[in-house]
Amino acid sequence: QVLLRESGGGSVQAGGSLTLSCIITGYTTRTIYAAWFRQVPGNEREAVAGIYTGGGANNYADFAKGRFTISHDNAKNTLYLQMTDLKPEDTATYYCAADRTSKFGAPWHRAGRYSAWGQGIEVTVSS
């Protein structure tokens, strides 16, 4: 059974930093496709950043470029999202997502290409 469990959320003032973690267990493959999404009530879930743990360039939404960094520690089976220079508009519930297949090259930012999701964790940025 594949399980994803996020941690590291909380409240921070604008300009501050947070690092989200997501422990991913249950995959038998050495590499996976993983991503962070976020959602505000009433809005669709939007992609933040994506990674292929086998290597290659990471992907970022425009709002995340230069501020957020996605990474993965294979030894710890943990996905990270380092967030800096946080803004009030970054307030959302953040979700980690993963899949063991490439889904025939499906875009990283498409939520439907990931079969496993975490429960979500709150991030609140105050002005």
pLDDT tens per residue, range 36-49: 999 999 999 999 99
- What are the average pLDDT values for consecutive 10-residue runs of the chain, which has 127 residues? 96 98 92 96 96 93 98 95 98 97 87 96 97
CA dist 53 and 80 (Å) reads 12
The number of C-alpha atoms within 13 Å of 40 and in the hemisphere containing its C-beta is: 9
In the three-class reduction of DSSP (H, G, I as helix; E, B as strand; rest coil), residue 71 is classed as: strand
CA dist 107 and 102 (Å) reads 9
Q: What share of the chain is helix, strand, coil (3-state, %, to 5)?
A: 5, 50, 45
pLDDT tens per residue, range 74-94: 999 999 999 999 999 999 999
